[in-house]
């Protein structure tokens, strides 16, 4: 019986150690994976391999890339098409679903003007950015909880966006 308890204790220590180092890796961003969009020179980093989906709606092409890791959801989409050049951007779809807008700011990503919105949606913090490129629109979003670690990983994700 003593061997079973020792093995269980070793297993618990291994799980806790793995979660600690896995979280540390997520927060420092050193091992994050770079993703480059197919037809735009947009690059962003994720803490793990993201899911990629390409969608066409009428004359609009959308490349969506997203990842959920622990309690943080990362997402970025590039919209291309003639109709996007005149589109208004903003978190209207989240607000229609009940999100509360906390603040909004103008931002620059490299030399491109954009808007950043901070919201609360279903008890979670949300940061959503819209960056207008020459012929496309980038929407970057991250959902995270109240803890310090998700806030840091959210900032790493948002700060990793580059236009080459």
Pick the CATH number of 32-163 from 3.40.1000.10, 2.60.40.10, 3.40.190.10, 2.60.120.330: 3.40.1000.10
Give the tokens for residue 44: 């962003």
Kindly state the helix (H) or strand (E) to which residue 54 belongs, with its residue range. strand 51-57
Instruction: Quote the pTM value.
Output: 0.78
C-alpha pair distances (Å), 127 with each of 4, 43, 75, 102, 116? 47, 18, 11, 10, 7
Residue 150 is classified by DSSP as H
Question: Bridge-partner residues for 46, per DSSP?
Answer: 33
3-state secondary structure of 80: strand
Query: Which of these ranges, 2-11, 79-88, 91-100, 145-154, has the smallest mean pLDDT?
Result: 2-11
Q: What confidence category does residue 139 fall into, taking pLDDT thresholds of 50, 70 and 90?
A: very high
Domain boundaries, the chain: 1-31, 32-163
Band (52; pLDDT cuts 50, 70, 90): very high
């Amino acid at each position: 019986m003593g061997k079973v308890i020792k093995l269980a204790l070793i297993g618990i220590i291994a799980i806790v150690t793995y979660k600690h180092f896995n979280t540390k890796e997520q927060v420092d961003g050193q091992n994050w994976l770079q993703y480059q969009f197919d037809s735009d020179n947009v690059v962003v980093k994720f803490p793990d391999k993201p899911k990629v989906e390409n969608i066409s709606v009428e004359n609009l092409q959308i490349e969506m890339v997203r990842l959920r890791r622990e309690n943080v959801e990362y997402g970025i989409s590039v919209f291309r098409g003639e109709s996007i050049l005149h589109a208004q951007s903003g978190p209207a779809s989240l607000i229609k679903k009940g999100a509360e807008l906390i603040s909004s700011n103008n931002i620059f990503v490299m030399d491109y003007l954009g808007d950043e919105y901070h919201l609360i949606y279903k008890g979670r913090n949300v940061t959503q950015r819209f960056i207008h490129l020459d012929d496309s629109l980038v929407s970057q979003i991250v959902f995270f909880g109240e803890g310090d670690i998700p806030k840091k990983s959210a900032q790493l994700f948002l700060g990793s966006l580059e236009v080459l």
